[in-house]
Structures are given as C-alpha cells and as structure tokens.
Amino acid sequence: MRKSYGVLLIFVLIGGLLGGVLGEILRIMAPQGTIQAIFATSFTPGISPPFTIDLVLIKLTIGFALKINLLSLIGMFLGIYLYKNI
C-alpha cells in the first residue's frame, strides 16, 4: 500500500496537538520544579506583530505563531513513527 504525504502530515499534526495538550496539562498540574521547567517550557516562532496591509477598501492582517514544547516534539516524532509502522 502506498502512503501519501497528506496522511503523514495528519499524523504529525495530531501527534503535535496531543503533545501540546499534555504539555499544557503538565504545566498546570505539576509542582514548581525541574519537571515543570523541562517539559512545560515552550518557544513560539512566528510573525510578531502580525503583518498588516491597510488598503482603503480592505485591511489584511497576516501572521502565525507556533507554540512548541518538548512534549509536542515527542508527539510529532511519535506520529512519524506510527506512520512508518502502520
């Protein structure tokens, strides 16, 4: 059976989303200390502030941001692993 890149993208996105959710839960539930510092720390690459084009008739705002933590990266790699083994 031939696998498509679309299915791989879905696996990676779902893995990243589940990892991000687990990271946020851990950030809230874990006591202050090393575990929270390692797993709940995230970085946010993106366009900040958003790019705005103001034409008189239309105002366009373009921007994005990704919030990535260690558990979301682990989830993405797990999604790739599952994709290859299914």
What value does the mean pLDDT take over residues 57-76? 92
| pLDDT mean across residues, the chain | 89
Structure tokens that stand for 41 in this block? 């720390």
pLDDT reading at 18 higher than 70? yes
Q: How many domains does the chain have?
A: 1
pLDDT for res 3: 78
pLDDT for res 26: 86
CA angle 38, 75, 63 (to 5 degrees): 85
Bridge partner residues of 79 (DSSP): none
Q: Which domain holds residue 11?
A: 5-85
